[in-house]
Amino acid sequence: MTQQMLADRLGRSKSWVDKVERGVRALDRFSVVQDVAEVLRVDTSVLVHGSSRPAGAAGAVEGLDGLRAALARYDTCWPGPGIRPPTGELRRRVEHAWLTYQHAGYPQLVRALPGLLGDAQLARAAASADDGADLLVQVYRLTASVLVKLGEADVAWLAADRAMAVAADDPLLAAVAAIPLGQALRAAGRGSLAMTATLAAAHRIAPRVPYEGPPQELALCGTLLVEAALAAASSGDARSAGELADRAAEIAERVGDGHDHHRTSFGPTAVELARVAAAVALGDGGGAISRHERATGRSTWGRLPVEHRAAHLVDAARAYLHVGDLLRAGRALVDADRTAPAEVRCRPLARTVIADVARGGPTPADVAHLVMVVGLAR
């Protein structure tokens, strides 16, 4: 195909084609990249990356089948000849898994969790393992949390239910387990059940004197109220969502920012971010944007785990979409990708938001590049 033939089919001048070929002019608009790719009958990624598949493109996270298989095994739940790892070693591995999660290392975590689940189950089965239940609840919670991120709500529900079963009659362990249970139920579209489960767990550990008690327990109680607020918002119950968020905010003032009790990052800033997510779920884009801009202006914003910040930026992008601000929606997504790439490239929700921004019209070069990287341009 000559330059003139290509120019004619694109409705462009031969000079324009020549400049693009020589690198004098860049293909900096996603819509133009699509047009050229369609005429040339190639994948759009070829024009940007020079290969049929962009490096680092997102896809299904490898290892999910192994994680499902690990949840389907029951033999490791019973005492047997299996080699039980030392509790100290197992605890270190769980701590490392939490750090991996908070840095949005979802592919690595999915690969590590099957073995961690089996070892935590063996440790729980050992009568001498005093904190076996605590570690197993944590591993089930991690499993459920990452599965929610990856769009596997039903399997996440199973893992969270296992955590609740292990917690049994321990109110604090049950409260820890109820956090991923609420997330999984909400992700499965069962907001009412999620609100009921999280509120019940919160009431079990609520202090006798309101807002008084150990910071660790207050953080758990507040986190459960946040989850209940988000569940209410997902069901369209704006009044309950607001009231529950207000209660969580009062507890957050007691706990303060900068802590990570029970891996919750609970504090005033976290509650504000939850209010943004609730507003987005309720369709209040303007309110969500106002809160987002205030929350990210706090000095404590940068002290939250990168996973938490990147997830919030995806929520912010959704808020900007609600009000038709495609430019700032795209900017929020690019910022999220820079903060924690897997949060954007592995999560189905984030990929949907990216696709919505790309379909909205001409996109800046950095957003067009993100579209290519996540493998959405075809």
- pLDDT top residue among 341 and 372: 341
- Residue 70 near residue 118, CB atoms below 8 Å: yes
pLDDT reported for residue 227: 98
Average pLDDT of the chain? 88
d(CA 72, CA 82): 18
With respect to residue 20, please indicate whether it lies within any of the assigned structural domains.
no
Give a yes or no: residue 53 inside a domain: no
Q: Residue 363's pLDDT is what?
A: 78
Q: What pLDDT, on a 0 to 100 scale, did the predictor assign at position 28?
A: 58
Q: What is the pLDDT of residue 50?
A: 46
Whether 227 and 261 map to the same domain: the answer is: yes
176 and 201 share one domain: no
Residue 336 domain-assigned? no
Residue at 99 is within a domain = yes
pLDDT tens digit sequence for 278-325: 999 999 999 999 999 999 999 999 999 999 999 999 999 999 999 999
Q: Which of 304, 332, 360 is the last residue of a domain?
A: 304
* Residue-level pLDDT at 82: 56
Which residue, of 281, 304, 327, is where some domain finishes?
A: 304
Does 85 have pLDDT greater than 90?
no
Q: How far apart are CA 372 and CA 378, in angstroms?
A: 9
In a domain, 298, yes or no: yes
- On whether both 288 and 213 belong to a single domain, the answer is yes
In whole angstroms, give the CA distance from residue 169 to residue 21: 69
Output the six-digit token pair for 53. Answer: 């598949």
Does 225 or 82 have the greater pLDDT score? 225
Question: Are residues 290 and 209 located together in one domain of the fold?
Answer: yes
Domain-located, residue 277? yes
Q: What is the pLDDT of residue 87?
A: 82
Based on the domain organization, do 184 and 254 belong to the same domain? no
Residues 72 and 160 in one domain: yes
pLDDT digits (tens, 9 = 90+) for 25-52: 766 566 677 788 778 877 655 565 444 3
Q: What's the mean pLDDT in 88-97?
A: 93
Q: Are residues 124 and 207 in the same domain?
A: no
* Owning domain of residue 204: 191-304
Contacts of 363 (CB under 8 A, 6+ apart): 29, 30, 31, 326, 330, 357, 371
The answer to whether residue 176 sits within a structural domain is yes
Q: 142 and 242: one domain?
A: no
- For the cut 60, the answer to whether the pLDDT of residue 79 exceeds it is no
Asked whether residue 101 falls in the same domain as residue 172, the answer is yes
Region 264-280: what's the mean pLDDT? Answer: 97
Is position 29 within any domain?
Answer: no
Tell me how many domains the chain contains: 2
